[in-house]
Amino acid sequence: MVDEESQEISLRTKLAFACGEVGDNVALNTFTFLIFTFYFTVVRIPTPIMTFGFILWALWNAINDPLIGYLSDRTKSRWGRRIPWMIGATIPLGILMILLFTPPSTYSESNSVFIYFIVVLIAFDIAYTSFNLNYNALFSEMFVDMRQRSATGRIRIIFVLLATMFALVFPTFIIEDITNINNEPITRVQYLITGIVAAIIIFVFYFLILKWGVKDPKHISKDAEIAMPFIKTMKFTFKHKSFLWFLFPALGTWLVINILPTLAPLFFVHAIGIEDTELIGILLLVDFLVAAASTPLWEKIRVKWGARMSGLVGIAVWLVSVLLFAFSNNFEIALIFMIFMGLGLGGGLYFYDQVIAEIIDEDEITYGVRRSGIYYAVLNFLIRLSMILNFVIIGIVFTSTDWMNYEPNPGVNVILGLRILMGVYPAIVLGLSLIGMYFFPIKGERLRENREKLTELHDKKKKSVEIPQ
């Protein structure tokens, strides 16, 4: 038996829904790719000060993300639980993409630049989480049938990769001196142009999804009336053993996804010696083109052996390739390893949404309430926390190699530190991710039983709100 409401979802709706990934990933990846390099090399905030700033930001995230997830699960409106949050976040997020690159001045002994840095980070996260968390929650709620979920997931991954390619490659064609070696005023202007373009893209693609791509299912939105209290919600979330095993690959994947683009400008210029930013763009483009092209392969593995296996294989390929790539010493060798990194990245991205949706399904079967928001809230919190861990490790390495303040001609120790941060550290993290993915328990017969039980539960919910069949 298949969920009839899911069968009715048209291709236009699926495409419009996937447009949310464009806005989301342009925002997140522009932030991840440029924010550290901009404030380190252009604004000249010392590494220890930035690390402290990101720790403060993490403390805010400890409250912000779970709270938004909890509130969205309990939201009651004519548009459902998720859509009001998405509408409210759209304009602020676009504006903040511009404000990220308009600090009052370069860093000095005064506190104004540092305060601006903290405030804009926190404001960005509130707006981004308000949209992203509810958008991801809607994915598991709108697309309950496995075939519809898989088909929409495939479209989403393609949009994710295209948006990520744009966010990482476009700046390399606009910002001529991405690590600010020459310290010219035009570099700051070029960073700002990148932020403005990102804002426009966010406005356009969020409009498309809000206009044609989202629908809050009534029989699931009604769960807001019986949502658990906050403490009880968190307690049951962390009692879910499948979710706890999933945290290893989920957190590990995003640790690596975040640190690679964060250090990419500095790594390419100073470790590999590529000063032509267009060549950097080519390397990043190859990475994500291969990742996009590999999506059918990962879907085929998932159909035959399950989402768990696609995660296992993808993470293993990624682990080996990232370790080899970090010790590239010229453009040609880096290009070869980028191809294999793209293959691993494709698998690492594909399994994530598919697995978390299966976890939320099982939770709903257990408690009778769809709690997508709190699961994505906890994941968002840990993903943001992983970014802080990355910055702490970057701060330790940079400080120990005497690169606390930006110098355009770093020594051998700094270059070795960059290679460790881009290869050894991610390989260790992905190794731990493999362990978590191996022990992930929703597979085989358990997965098939969950699908049957979920269909029966949703049939009962639809009858309770008298949705026409």
Q: In this predicted model, what pLDDT tens digit does every residue of 253-281 receive, in sequence order? A: 889 988 888 899 999 999 998 988 889 88
240 against 176, higher pLDDT: 176
Contact, 226 vs 369, CB < 8 A? yes
Domains along the chain with CATH numbers: 10-221+229-458 (1.20.1250.20)
pLDDT tier, 375 (very low <50, low <70, confident <90, very high otherwise): confident
Q: What is the mean pLDDT of residues 453-459?
A: 81
| Cα-to-chain-centroid distance, residue 348 | 11
Q: What share of the chain is helix, strand, coil (3-state, %, to 5)?
A: 80, 0, 20
Asked if pLDDT for residue 353 goes beyond 80, the answer is no
Distance CA 89, CA 69 (A): 14
Residue with tokens 């601006």, as numbered in its chain: 116
Handedness of CA 179, 183, 185, 186 (dihedral sign): negative
What is the arithmetic mean of pLDDT over 332-361? 87
Is residue 233 very low, low, confident or very high in pLDDT (cuts 50, 70, 90)? low
Query: Are 54 and 65 in contact, with CB atoms under 8 Å apart?
Result: no
Q: Over the stretch 24-39, which tens digit does the pLDDT of each residue have?
A: 999 999 998 999 999 9
Q: Give percent of the chain above pLDDT 70.
A: 91
